[in-house]
Structure 1
Amino acid sequence: MAIDARAATERPSGVGVYTRNLVAGLAEVGAGDRFRLVSHRAVVLDQPLPEFITVSDPYFPVGNVWLQTVCPLLLRQERVDVFHGANFLAPLRSPCPTVLTIHDLSSFALPWAHHWRNNLIQRLLPAVLRHARRLIAISERTRRDLQERFAVPAEKIRVIPNGINPRYSPVADPTADGAVRARLGLPERYFLHVGTLERRKNLTALLRAFALFCRRRPGDARLVLTGSDGLGAEEIRLLYRQLGLGERVIFTGYVAADDLPALYRAALALVFPSLCEGFGLPAAEAMACGTPVLASADPALFEVAGPAALYAPAGEPAVWAERLAELAGDDALRARLGREGEIRARLYDRTQFAKQTLAVYREAAGETA
């Protein structure tokens, strides 16, 4: 089996984290098979690979050109049984059956929230969907979107929720966690957002809500925004300055995966006001750490967190401000949400995620064309 590992970079975003988690899970359960991680640039993982997982990543300047030109030659040369397009797409002229993971359809639902290059390449998706043997949707929400927007037959789709890295746990080393927070200059009380600073994450609404919260509770918790700059980051920073939030908001930049559990565990809550998600991995990671979650009323986030989280409409900062005040002032509420979230997060076991994905590979390989 070959897996598109282009998103597994030194600083992975959501798809890259998915890819890393998948590879780590396959390392646990896939000893009877052989896997080839393929990419146009260096594949960066967070653990050593067993002998049955190898890497092919010679440099090629443009990833999506590589996918449609070089990758099919590689698949033919290595006699690959199945290609897994873990990053939405696959070669249109693949010499072997393909499995695609579809994370979300936000580039179709919210094109203004994505770079034009991403929107352009996503226009290949309908053709790639038709050619794929199997599709993996990371949530029921994504499955419904695929069927409604592209009329994909139900029998072609398998729903496999994301798996969580075991590093996300409520069990802490207080000294190590404290050192991480001290290095990043974090206060004792803070709300946390994890994710790229981009339009889809709806951080302008969060900043407006937090400004209202600050008026109600001056001197209380701060807001910590982690993540690299994406499309719309300048708009977010401009609004931050206009609202005069000053030291009440901390921009950490990208935070390494090994450091994130320490941030989750100490936060009053993860705040996640996204406009559109396919899954919402930070919500699952926070719950696994025993951290309360306040999320937008997005179908995928409802599906992932269920009754173990609080919700507010994405476009109503005043409601978000009320929820922030509730969380800041109610220790019992935070404790209850933390307990319920930790239980809920057990649904997203990385080993089961890898086993289910491997079963789809075998299904695709075994089906007659």
Structure 2
Amino acid sequence: MSRIGIDARLISQTGVGSYTRSLLEYLEHLINPDDVLYVFVQSVKKSPYHPNRKNIQLVEADYPWHSIAEQTGFLQKLVTYRLDLMHFTYFSFPMLYPASFIITIHDLIPLFFSTGKASTKHPLMYRAKHIAYRLLMRVATARAYRIIVPSQTVKNDIERYYGRKVSSKVEVTYEGVPSRLMHAQSSSHIKKVFKKPFFIYVGNFYPHKNIEMLVRAFRDVLKDYDLALIGPDDYFSQHIRSLIRSLNMDQRVIMLVNSSDEDLSFLYSHAQALIHPSLSEGFGLPLLEASYFKCPILASNIPIIQEILGDYFIPFDPLSKDSITTAINRFVHKPEKKFLPLNILQEKFSFEKMSYQTYEIYKKTLFKGH
């Protein structure tokens, strides 16, 4: 019998949360009945995941990520469980954890965007946190038995920053479209929000997502079209709201926060296209989600998007406002149905396949320890 732990403290968040929820959904069908899986969540009561098997147990672990409590209290809790293997699903983990572990590194974006503009913290506090991030990453990449990443692009970044020895431990497991979104019934009530045809952006509003550039570029798009920005309600979304007001774009740019899967189903199905202007990504789930709903994609011509979509998108230079505007206006005059074909999407990108690959990594790691 093996005792396996999964860090699911971010399970209610976007991004990492979606990854963790999907992983657990499929692991339920894979895990050996003789093994025990401990799922560490911030709140058992509020967790969106509740296991259907007796050998999967939720464990309360109310230790915020990026905190001293994570490095002390969470560490002590993990040690008491005497795990044969721990899977940290995010880079922030107790770096003195003494036992065998694997870690998922979703991207190296904090290394690329380390100016402090991507933080609400005081510059000195941000600098301290950035130093802590670099230290955590050094420890994680050196000590993890295996490192899971969502793309070859991230693996290449890891090799560039940490060398081939670390890169040799990296396993690429492509993600997919969450099953709950695929099965969601399209919500028609959101239709009343729109009076004109609309484009959408889906994701968070961190500076590297380049939404400020998108909003400025959309000023010169034909007035017959609106733009819907769909993401979380936080400090960064408030900054974008202020920008929209300052540009007098309130009537053309609509912000939809904390949208449900039913809302997303409607939005992907009825949008003119998804616009994805990011400067950097570890993966890019909205690209797959848009493809699933046959929503055309206009996106940055950066390596990760080329890796995921190949030639199945309309590219633009994310650093050029004119390039973004031109791509949108050209699409308006001559729409192109460019999105990843369903057969490629199903064959290459799947959370079910990702979970199987992850479980195989578990088994290899456990076998190594016996």
Structure 2 length-normalised TM:
0.87
Alignment partners' CA distance in 1, 2:85 and 2:241: 44
Query: What are structure 1's unaligned runs of at least 5 residues?
Result: none
State how far apart, in whole Å, the 2-side matches of 1:136 and 1:163 are.
15
> C-alpha distance in 1, partners of 2:91/2:45?
18
Render the CA deviation track for 1:101-135: whole Å, top value 9, x for unaligned.
Answer: 11111101111343227534412211121111110
Alpha carbons 2:217, 2:325 under 8 Å: kept: yes
Q: Identity of aligned pairs, percent?
A: 26
1:34 match: 36
The alignment of Structure 1 onto Structure 2 pairs a total of residues equal to 354
Q: Which of 153-162 and 225-234 deviates more? A: 225-234
1:344 corresponds in structure 2 to 344
Give the corresponding residue for 1:119: 130
Letter of the 1:25 counterpart: Y
1:181 aligned partner: 191
Contact 1:197 1:229 in 2 (8 A): no
For 1:254, which of 243, 255, 258 is the aligned residue?
A: 258
- Preserved CA contact (<8 Å) 1:292 1:341: no
Deviation at 1:212, TM superposition (A): 1.2
Aligned partners of 2:365, 2:200: CA distance in 1, in Å? 40
C-alpha displacement of 1:37: 1.2
User: Structure 1 counterpart of 2:133, which letter?
Assistant: Q
- CA RMSD, Structure 1 to Structure 2 (Å): 2.4
How far 1:23 moved relative to its partner? 1.2
**Amino acid paired to 1:323:** A
Separation in structure 1 between the aligned mates of residue 7 and residue 184 of structure 2, nearest angstrom: 34
Is contact 2:217–2:324 with CA below 8 Å preserved after alignment?
yes
2:269 to 265, 269, 294: 265
2:173 is matched with 160
AA matched with 1:8: I
Following TM superposition, by how much is the alpha carbon of 1:232 offset from its aligned partner in structure 2, in angstroms?
A: 4.2
CA distance in 1 between counterparts of 2:65 and 2:107 reads 23
The runs of 4+ residues in structure 1 deviating greater than 6 Å are none
- Which letter maps to 2:68? V
Q: In the alignment, is the contact (CA less than 8 A) between 2:21 and 2:49 conserved in 1?
A: no
Is 1:8 the counterpart of 2:11? The answer is yes
Of 128, 135, 148 in structure 2, the residue corresponding to residue 136 of structure 1 is: 148
- What CA distance in whole angstroms lies between the structure 2 residues aligned with 1:258 and 1:43? 24
**What is the deviation of 1:91?**
2.4
Gaps of 5+ in 2: 120-125
Say whether residues 1:19 and 2:20 are aligned partners: yes
Distance 1:98 1:172 in 2: 35
* Cα distance in 2, alignment partners of residues 148 and 270 from structure 1: 31
Task: Give the CA deviation at 1:69.
Answer: 1.9
The CA deviation at 1:241 is 2.3
Determine if contact 1:28/1:351 at 8 Å carries over to the other structure: no
Q: Which has the higher helix share?
A: 1
CA contact (8 A) 1:190 1:223 kept: yes
Q: Is the 8 A contact 1:21 1:164 kept in 2?
A: no
Aligned AA (1:257): D
- What secondary structure sits across from 2:176 in the alignment? coil
Aligned twin of 2:220 = 212
Partners in 2 of 1:71 and 1:47 — Cα distance?
A: 20
Give 1:84 deviation, angstroms. 0.8
Give the letter aligned to residue 154 of structure 2: T
SS of equivalent to 1:84: strand
Shift of 1:186: 3.1
- Structure 1 counterpart SS, 2:216: helix
Does the aligned pair in 2 maintain the 1:308–1:344 contact within 8 Å?
no
**CA apart distance, 1:76:** 2.9
Q: Select which of 136, 161, 167 maps to 1:149.
A: 161
CA distance in 1, matches of 2:88, 2:184: 36
- The within-5 A match list for 1:276-315 is 276-315=280-319
Alignment pair present for 1:197 and 2:187: no
> 1:62 offset after TM fit, Å?
6.3
Counterpart-to-counterpart distance in 2, 1:59 and 1:85? 15
Higher deviation after alignment, 54-63 or 239-248: 54-63
- TM-score, structure 1 as length reference: 0.88
Aligned partner (choices 57, 73, 76) of residue 73 of structure 1? 76
Q: Tell me which moved more, 159-168 or 233-242.
A: 233-242
Would you say 1:223 and 2:227 are equivalent positions?
A: yes
Corresponding letter in the other structure for 2:319: G
Match of residue 123 from structure 2: none
- For residues 249 and 262 of structure 1, what CA distance do their matches in structure 2 show? 18
Q: Is the 8 A contact 2:41 2:60 kept in 1?
A: yes
